[in-house]
């Protein structure tokens, strides 16, 4: 398969991941989860303050981040604690895509 087809396919496969990363509110949620030093996870109410969003809006953004394999949660009774996903598949795919794009750009110089 030629390089451009591979890059196009990589973009298509990573589209949900890139969409999840592209939103500023989701970025603020990711940053807040990264700042959780204990890595115990944060509740929606914790993320509401950090992102200046309502509970339903935070829940929606968490759903998008979860579908993109960026966030996961654990349940303790009736409480959910959200944390960054430890699976790095999409992140590694993004690194590969960026390396492929860089190679094409460098070849054109």
Q: Is the pLDDT of residue 1 over 70?
A: no
Give the H or E element holding residue 20: helix 3-22
- The pLDDT tens digits of the residues spanning 42-89 come to 999 999 988 899 999 999 999 999 999 999 999 999 999 999 987 888
Measured distance CA(39)–CA(18) in Å, rounded: 24
Taking residues 2-15, report their average pLDDT: 92
Query: Is 38 a residue whose pLDDT tops 70?
Result: no
* pTM assigned to the model: 0.85
């Amino acid at each position: 398969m030629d390089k451009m087809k591979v890059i196009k396919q990589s973009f298509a496969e990573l589209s949900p991941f890139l969409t999840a990363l592209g939103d500023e509110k989701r970025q603020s949620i990711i940053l807040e989860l990264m700042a959780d030093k204990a890595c115990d996870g944060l509740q929606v109410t914790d993320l509401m303050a950090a992102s200046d969003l309502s509970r339903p809006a935070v829940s929606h953004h968490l759903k998008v981040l979860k579908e993109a394999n960026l966030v996961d949660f654990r349940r303790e009774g009736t409480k959910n604690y959200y944390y960054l996903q430890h699976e790095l598949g999409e992140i590694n795919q993004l690194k590969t895509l960026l390396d492929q794009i860089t190679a094409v750009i460098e070849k054109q110089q």
